Structure 1
Amino acid sequence: MSIAALQVARTGLDAQSERMRVIANNLANVNTTGFQRDRAEFATLAYQMMTAPGARSSAENQYAVGLNVGTGVRMTGTGRVTTAGTIQNSSNPLDLAIEGDGYFRIARPDGTVGYTRAGNFHLSNEGKLVTGDGLPLQPEIQIPDGAQSVTIGSDGTVSVTLQGQSEAQQVGQIEISRFINPAGLQAVGNNLYIETASSGSAQTGAAGAEGRGAIRQGALEGSNVNVVQELVDMIETQRAYEVNSKMISATDEMLRNANQQL
């Protein structure tokens, strides 16, 4: 049984180590635009049933509770917290924030579509709206050369005013995608998520319609990481790791005493 206790404590060390890694990633991305924090989720491992509850202890009696011994814990996944971060104004007209549910659509190099909450866009050398990595927004938005101003409405309508003209002209519309289960999106790095069977299919359309959030120009959404909460979780994880380490030391001492006595 003592050897089994070592195994149980080892699973606890592994689980808390993985949780600390999740917390570290959250804190590392505290200033990442549109970042959504992860939460470590755990589940018990299989139980060893020595005596089933209700089994006969004698011809006339039965066990009330039985004997069921756990074998440890494992981390089952990382649930993403999809609450919105704080929106802050900026002086850049190409900075966009989504007020509500939804993601911007980004064309990935392999031809697939990625989704992001990070709206810090730039102009490419061809005048297209792109991410910091040069990935184009979908559908593509082309800003004409010599545009004096760029105006993006809450519904995603993009208008520009050209030199020598008094009236603005529409050059495209930014679409927003939402998902039934946004936590089911798979993070692939570079602030991008991809669709999975768990997230459901993207419901794409104009911003501000059918449950999709509205677009706010000249603003960026910060990460939803709460530093104080992450520090509290970090201390809790550290304490749990230490307790599991002490469990291994105590079990080892018990085995040593047993070997000396027998």
Structure 2
Amino acid sequence: MKALRIAASGMMAQEMNVNVISNNIANMRTTGYKRQRADFQDLFYQNLRRVGSQTSDAGTLVPAGVSVGSGVRTVATPRIMSQGDIEQTDKETDVAVRGEGYYQILMPDGRTAYTRDGSFELDATGTIVSQDGYALQPNITVPQNARDFTISQNGTVQAIIGNASTATVLGQIQLARFVNKTGLEAIGDNLFLETDASGPAQVANPGDEGYGTLLQNHLESANVVAVSELSSLISAQRAYEMNSRIIKAADEMAQATSNLR
């Protein structure tokens, strides 16, 4: 029976939905994480009586046809790139982006990755790096004898070197923007890669028109809302159960038809 295949596609779709929701919940405390959602489309239809077809020589038309769908499929799992809450950490190398923009990270293979995770560290040479040791771009190095390390809202990195009385500019943090943020490819470790769908990175200083500003000693938390995710989980569970009942009902109907023979 067609109902078996239709209900099976519904169960597969809701299984994917639950997978997406579970990943959101698992990353509730992941810095800069952007939640996903599952989007679905109905499958093609078999037209048993096409709407608008002619029913007589007088030209009368069918006002509503007869068509049977084939089920559902998962078409996309886009990320919701909304701003997460800003939380204070009191760590001088923690920096949150308020507004649009991604930090640029140099990967070991030479590619540039992008992230909203501003939990930076200093490596053995004083270079500002990510939690995995990948250098922030443009490269900024803090001397060992530096003190009063600060990062301004517009991304200027300064520190007082040695016995100097005034601060020295050590570098400039820049942010990247994309025409289609949802088109970025997630590769794990809080990193994204540019794709043809995202468009090329547009780089500028924080605070420039269309770009966010930086906030030192703070981090952006995940934009996952627990209540919403639990509500979506319950809905997905109910939909899965209803599709499983359809399979059971279709099987019982097929058995009844077989017994008639």
| TM-score between the two structures when normalised by the length of structure 1 | 0.97
Measured in 2, the distance between the counterparts of 1:51 and 1:143 equals: 74
**Which consecutive aligned stretches of 4+ in structure 1 deviate over 4 angstroms post-superposition?**
none
Spell out, residue by residue over 1:110-155, the C-alpha distance to the aligned partner (whole angstroms, 9 max, x if none): 1111100000000011111111111110011101112122111111
Instruction: Kindly report which structure 2 residues correspond to 1:84-233, keeping only aligned pairs within 5 A, or say none.
Output: 84-233=83-232
Q: Deviation of residue 183 (structure 1)?
A: 1.3
Q: Deviation of residue 246 (structure 1)?
A: 0.3
**What is aligned with 1:23?**
21
Q: Deviation of residue 91 (structure 1)?
A: 1.2
Q: Deviation of residue 166 (structure 1)?
A: 1.3
**What is aligned with 2:239?**
240
Amino acid at match of 1:101: E
Amino acid at match of 1:256: Q
* CA RMSD of superposed structures (Å): 0.9
Measured in 1, the distance between the counterparts of 2:90 and 2:105 equals: 23
Partner of residue 39 from structure 1, selected from 37, 40, 50 = 37
Measured in 1, the distance between the counterparts of 2:108 and 2:128 equals: 15
Q: Deviation of residue 62 (structure 1)?
A: 3.0
Instruction: Kindly report which structure 2 residues correspond to 1:61-100, keeping only aligned pairs within 5 A, or say none.
Output: 61-100=60-99
Amino acid at match of 1:68: S
Measured in 2, the distance between the counterparts of 1:169 and 1:20 equals: 51
Secondary structure of the corresponding residue to residue 258 of structure 1: helix
Amino acid at match of 2:39: E
**What is aligned with 1:57?**
55
Q: Deviation of residue 109 (structure 1)?
A: 1.5
Spell out, residue by residue over 1:196-230, the C-alpha distance to the aligned partner (whole angstroms, 9 max, x if none): 11111111011010211001111000000000000
Secondary structure of the corresponding residue to residue 68 of structure 1: strand
Amino acid at match of 1:105: Q
Amino acid at match of 1:223: A
Measured in 1, the distance between the counterparts of 2:12 and 2:64 equals: 30
Measured in 2, the distance between the counterparts of 1:77 and 1:211 equals: 27
Percent identity, aligned pairs only, is: 42
Spell out, residue by residue over 1:41-81, the C-alpha distance to the aligned partner (whole angstroms, 9 max, x if none): 00011111111112123434432211111000001011111
| TM-score between the two structures when normalised by the length of structure 2 | 0.98
Measured in 2, the distance between the counterparts of 1:13 and 1:55 equals: 34
Secondary structure of the corresponding residue to residue 77 of structure 2: strand
Q: Deviation of residue 84 (structure 1)?
A: 0.4
Q: Deviation of residue 162 (structure 1)?
A: 1.8
Secondary structure of the corresponding residue to residue 187 of structure 1: strand
Q: Which moved more, 1:54-63 or 1:241-250?
A: 54-63
Amino acid at match of 1:42: F
Measured in 2, the distance between the counterparts of 1:119 and 1:255 equals: 59
Amino acid at match of 1:90: T
Q: Which runs of 5+ in 2 are unaligned?
A: none
Measured in 2, the distance between the counterparts of 1:189 and 1:198 equals: 19
Secondary structure of the corresponding residue to residue 233 of structure 1: helix
Measured in 2, the distance between the counterparts of 1:9 and 1:154 equals: 53
